[in-house]
Structure 1
Amino acid sequence: MSTRIDSVEPGSESHNTIPMQKQRYPKSFLKLMLFGFSIIGLPLIGALINSAMSIDRLAEQSRKTVHQATQVTLGNRVLIDEIRTMERSIRQALILGDMSLLEGYFRAHSKFEMTAEKLWEHSSHIEQRLLLEKIRLSETTIFMEILTAIDDSPEDLRGLVENFTGLMESANNFSIMGQNLIGVDVSEMLDMASHARTVVEWQLLALIPFVILLALIFSVLITRPIRQIDEAIYKMGQGELSKPVCVEGPQNLKYIGIRLDWMRRRLLKLEDQKIQFLRHVSHELKTPLAAIREGADLLAEGITGQLTKKQQLIANILHSSSLQLQKRIEDLLSYSALETDKTALVKHQVKLAKILDEVLQNQNLSIMSKRLEIIRDCPGLMLECDSEKIKIILDNLLSNAVKFSPPCGVIQIKVVQTNKLVQLDIVDMGVGIHKVDQEKIFEPFYQGRSVANTHVRGTGLGLSIAREYAFAHGGNIELIQQSEVGAHFRLTLPLNDTEGEA
């Protein structure tokens, strides 16, 4: 028998998918990352630029203030020196009686005028300018009076010398005012610095949660398609192939999602072909197996003639092996039915003890060959179930217990009722189940590390089929942990049809 797998081009069904969807993401994952970092970084860059501009304005203002304060202080010192020079020149001219000494006065006057002009330019406060203008007017008045006195009566210069005292006092007042105004400017700079710091702090307080929010939003946008891809791969690994794979995100990640969905469809098709193959093989094996079993039965019963002991032993082995092969084939058929959802239950009231008796009778030959002791505690409970499916469940559990039990071992079967549930425990004295195998023993085709000494190796479907049938009845099969040797399985079933009651 051969199976044919049609080839499908992975991208054949994806060309028309992307253009029809609304593009909410950039075309590539890299562009999405760059866009996210840009959006998150822009507020921080803006805050940094604003802080830099505030610091620059503060620095510029500080520079201007320091420059003005320096110029005003130096200029005021020059004014005082020139006033003293002018007064000294006049006193020298009067004492020595030499009017040529007034040249020093005129030079000091010119320098005073130039310095006052520069101070006017550097004075930023109106009070300073008004006082400076008053000083300039006073000095100009003194200068005009001195010129008049030189032309008319040089002796009048003695009375004009005292005018420099008031001029000096005004210059000193200007110096004091300059120092006070410098303190005001410094206070204003401190206020500006405090204001700039407050603004930066508030910007940081506002930006931190905003940036965190943006980071969360973009982390969701970035991780969502990756999480969808991861979930799709995990579901395919778990065999969940019914739901299509849908990945929302950049175009290249969407394309990966399309490829994964193509892989899902291919796996689904291969799974269908596998089930069909198992079904066909199982049916084709049943016919020759039936002939082998019938021939072995005829030989064992002596229909064809009396057999020797060795021949009888061989016939019994053929008979036993044919039964085991028949069970394996029936497991394959049951598994195929489970995979195709063809497990309809035909429920009716039946005694659980009766089903257990039939299962024990079927296993009687194996039990007797290993001289096993069956300790059974089963009250006469009525169970609404599909008796054939329950028989398969018990047969799988009991056959495993018999298979792995040592010769002359003990198998305990205990049935109890708890509320509306029936709890059936089967405990053997075999090698038990390895810790590595405990989570996988109910998976299809899985066979643990403990191998029984039998002619035919199992298919690894018995426990998987038994558990599915238990689920179909609204029950469960679980492995009970125990410190002693052996395995302990517990079957839980409802007494009545829960679906019918609902």
Structure 2
Amino acid sequence: MKLGIDLSRHYYPRSFLRLVLFSFGAVALPLALAFVNVAVLVEKMSDQSQSAVGQAAQAARASRLLMEQSTALERVVRQYLVLEDLDLMDDYERVRKRFKATTSELSLLPLDEPQLRELNRTIDKEQALYELLLPRSLPRPAERRSLIEGYMELTDLARGVLDVSNALTDREIENLRTTAARAQDILWLHLLATVPLGVLISVAVTVFIARPVRQLDQAIRRLGSGEFSSGIRISGPADLEYLGARLEWLRQRLVALEQQKQLFMRHVSHELKTPLTALREGSALLSEGTAGSLTPAQHEIVDILKEKSAHLQNLIEDLLNYQQAQQSIARLDLGTTRVDDLVRRVLDDHRLAISSRAIRTDVQLEPLAISADAGKLRVIVDNLLSNAVKYSPDGGTISLALRRDGDKMQFEVGDSGPGIPREQRERVFDWFFRGERGEGKVRGTGLGLAIAREFVLAHRGNITVSDNGARGARFCVSLPVQPSGTA
């Protein structure tokens, strides 16, 4: 036992609030880690994509500028060959300087192999053409054609660089789309991996939290049902363990009070029965004339003594029956019971009282076997039938009906007595409640129906009362054919 307590204190936080906070953190931690991981990954991909697209855009811009400068070089050379003005070579040098700056800018970029190859061909071509112009003398007609064709080829090479740069830009945009799609796939993978993990952790945490609460609930239910035999021990946070210890103290106090009550009932019944027996025997001797003949008035007084002493003895026996019923309510000895045979045996026990008052019986019993405590089921039938006999007038009718309704047994007992007022039907099953029926000539002890209800509830059934047609009361007992457990 100590091992269990030590383990619970080792695994559980000191308080229930800490347990809830710890549980919330355990559930939220995987989700938070997953989202942080995804956020970092997306940010990294975004930076890479932004850098790649920026470089592609810069290469495209420089390629367009290179294309324009190649075209400008070709135009200056054409003007130089047509106008034969050596001053135009100064313009060529200025354009060529910008051309070289642009090629240098492009060469510093992380170009791929096709781009770098086209750029080098363009640089080499321009350098070769420039060397043909270095003498700063007008070339011959054949050389002029070669120069023009060379610069046209240079323009085509620059256009090729631009085309490669545009293709690179398109490729980077496509890579960006691919990266975004991959980030989305990774996010879904994280969610698919994290959500089931979070659900599993949630279930585990729920069980972890619910265990001490469930133990408290079961302990309180056992106390409420009068089951004091098993001790109460709560495994969980310190505050819940303390609450369990207080419930155990309450259980022990209830056990002590129950023992005191039983002892008191035994002493009271014994102390009352001894003088009551003497009183009944003395009144019987007086009634028989043992002490001498009695006058009619004396006979009347003796009859009153006999009647009241008999009534007092019945009350004492009812108290003892109540005590026995209270002790046995929660214990069921289940077995297969033929209810129709049991009802017939109880009816036979009441046959003398029924015949002496000329009461008719209407019996409709279907053959039916259920899983029940035969002793308690007999008490239920006996108390209901006794109640019907007690309140039915001479020459009245008592109806008994038994049938199966799905997975329930329905047993009904109806009488032709004065009935039960609607305002008393909720209280008629309370302990020691004795309502007025009709003119109030018949009074019960208030125990029979209460005991019947407790035994019905122990079988997980229910009992109700209603009008029996134009006159009388009808009690209906519904019990499961196969009860799922005991109360």
Q: TM-score range by the shorter chain?
A: 0.7 to 0.9
The aligned residue for residue 256 of structure 2 is 269
Is 1:447 the counterpart of 2:433? The answer is yes
Is 1:184 the counterpart of 2:180? The answer is no
Q: How does 1:91-240 map to 2 (within 5 A)?
A: 91-147=78-134, 149-150=135-136, 153-155=137-139, 158=144, 160-240=147-227
Q: How does 1:325-474 map to 2 (within 5 A)?
A: 325-336=312-323, 356=349, 360=353, 372-375=357-360, 400-401=387-388, 403-406=390-393, 408=394, 410=396, 428-432=415-419, 445-447=431-433, 449-450=435-436, 453=440, 458=445, 460=447, 464=451
The aligned residue for residue 233 of structure 2 is 246
> What secondary structure sits across from 1:275 in the alignment?
helix
Distance 1:353 1:179 in 2: 104
The aligned residue for residue 306 of structure 1 is 294
Is 1:77 the counterpart of 2:67? The answer is no
1:240 maps to amino acid? E
What is the TM-score when the length of structure 1 is the normalising length? Answer: 0.71
Structure 1 residues 391 and 78, CA gap change in structure 2 (3 angstroms): closer
**Range that drifts further, 266-275 or 329-338:** 329-338
The aligned residue for residue 68 of structure 1 is 55
Structure 1 residues 438 and 210, CA gap change in structure 2 (3 angstroms): farther
Contact 2:429 2:450 (8 Å CA) reproduced: yes
2:223 maps to amino acid? M
The aligned residue for residue 366 of structure 2 is none
Is 1:48 the counterpart of 2:38? The answer is no
> What secondary structure sits across from 2:10 in the alignment?
coil
Distance 1:193 1:172 in 2: 31
Distance 2:15 2:2 in 1: 17
Distance 2:168 2:347 in 1: 113
Q: How many angstroms does 1:190 deviate by?
A: 2.6
**Number of residue pairs the alignment of both structures matches:** 434
Q: How many angstroms does 1:432 deviate by?
A: 4.6
2:198 maps to amino acid? V
Q: How many angstroms does 1:456 deviate by?
A: 7.5
Q: How many angstroms does 1:440 deviate by?
A: 8.4
1:447 maps to amino acid? F
Distance 2:228 2:31 in 1: 46
Contact 1:397 1:463 (8 Å CA) reproduced: no
The aligned residue for residue 485 of structure 2 is none
Residue from 218, 242, 255 that aligns with 2:242:
255
Distance 1:57 1:357 in 2: 92
Contact 1:18 1:251 (8 Å CA) reproduced: no
The aligned residue for residue 17 of structure 2 is 30
Structure 1 residues 390 and 301, CA gap change in structure 2 (3 angstroms): farther
The aligned residue for residue 6 of structure 1 is none
Structure 1 residues 486 and 316, CA gap change in structure 2 (3 angstroms): farther
Provide, for residues 102-122 of structure 1, a one-character-per-residue CA deviation record: whole Å limited to 9, x for no partner: 222111111111111111223
Contact 1:373 1:409 (8 Å CA) reproduced: yes
Q: How many angstroms does 1:482 deviate by?
A: 7.8
Provide, for residues 462-485 of structure 1, a one-character-per-residue CA deviation record: whole Å limited to 9, x for no partner: 8639998xx9xxxx9988988442
Distance 2:109 2:423 in 1: 90
Structure 1 residues 220 and 21, CA gap change in structure 2 (3 angstroms): closer
Provide, for residues 410-436 of structure 1, a one-character-per-residue CA deviation record: whole Å limited to 9, x for no partner: 3659999xxxxxxx9986433456789
Provide, for residues 173-211 of structure 1, a one-character-per-residue CA deviation record: whole Å limited to 9, x for no partner: 111122222222233333323322222223323333332
Q: How many angstroms does 1:245 deviate by?
A: 2.0
Contact 2:69 2:98 (8 Å CA) reproduced: yes
Structure 1 residues 84 and 63, CA gap change in structure 2 (3 angstroms): same
2:396 maps to amino acid? V
Contact 2:420 2:437 (8 Å CA) reproduced: no
Q: CA RMSD in A?
A: 4.5
Q: How many angstroms does 1:94 deviate by?
A: 4.1
Structure 1 residues 186 and 446, CA gap change in structure 2 (3 angstroms): farther
Distance 1:477 1:174 in 2: 93
> What secondary structure sits across from 2:473 in the alignment?
coil
**Structure 1, unaligned stretches of length 5 or more?**
1-13, 342-351, 379-388, 417-423, 491-502
The aligned residue for residue 9 of structure 1 is none
Residue from 72, 86, 94 that aligns with 2:73:
86
> What secondary structure sits across from 2:266 in the alignment?
helix
Structure 1 residues 195 and 455, CA gap change in structure 2 (3 angstroms): closer
Distance 2:18 2:401 in 1: 64
> What secondary structure sits across from 1:373 in the alignment?
coil
Distance 1:415 1:106 in 2: 122
Distance 2:88 2:295 in 1: 164
Q: How many angstroms does 1:56 deviate by?
A: 2.0
Distance 1:57 1:118 in 2: 27
Provide, for residues 357-408 of structure 1, a one-character-per-residue CA deviation record: whole Å limited to 9, x for no partner: 8985xx99xx8xxxx4345899xxxxxxxxxx999999966764454345x4
**Structure 2, unaligned stretches of length 5 or more?**
329-344, 364-375, 403-410, 478-487
Q: How many angstroms does 1:60 deviate by?
A: 2.2
